[in-house]
Structure 1
């Protein structure tokens, strides 16, 4: 009788193990999720809109707070995956921060540099003369 109980217990446990859902591999994090976990250091620069449609397909004025990322991020693509995502950028020289959408490509920027519209520049630098500032940024938030 003991053998029968052990036999039934064994098959009951085996059945439960087989009925349990198989572990699923973690979903591959998209670049935005991964980037949200790390801070990037670079330079902040400024650019004018000049009435030109940006690489994300929209025309903006200098009064719109937007940014352009370097080609290393945008990959020379029209409507790149980072278009319309937002980054949080901080001016390391004065501590000011801003959340702005990525709306263009900066062909002359270094890998981790960000080119700011006039409005975004003014908010981050308190209307400082154009040039560069030390920058930290992270993000690609969809909101």
Structure 2
């Protein structure tokens, strides 16, 4: 009986570690903090960093800097758990879900899907100044 209780205690402790780690990582996302930066767009299709199929040519979504991703497996990252980015430019605001990672983006740079970028500016501009923030 003692061995079973010890094994159950060890299993419970092992399951708690990921929950604590995820809570800490989620706290690292600067929710509600306004960031002055820039936005570009992309129109690729395939699997996004959250492990789901995306099509940046047709869907509203955003890829954020790799510096905000904290989980060893990006599919399990807190950014993939209902986090959005609210972006403002040219007097317009759009809210898009985080679905992908931008490995080449600085922390203030976001890469919007083509439809999201179109709601803020003409894609011919390619790169626009924006203010943005993570929201839930």
TM over 0.5: yes
Q: How does 1:1-143 map to 2 (within 5 A)?
A: 30-32=27-29, 34-36=30-32, 38-49=33-44, 51-61=45-55, 62-75=57-70, 77-79=73-75, 80-83=77-80, 84-91=82-89, 94-125=90-121, 127-141=122-136
Paired residues in the alignment total 108
Runs of 4+ off more than 3 Å: none
Q: 1:77 to 1:41 in 2, by over 3 A?
A: farther
What is the TM-score with the length of structure 2 in the denominator? 0.71
Judging by fraction of residues, say which structure has more strand: 2
* Greater percentage in helix: 2
> What is the RMSD of the two structures over their aligned residues, measured on CA atoms?
2.0
Q: List gaps (5 residues or longer) in structure 2.
A: 1-23
- When normalised by structure 1's length, the TM-score is 0.68
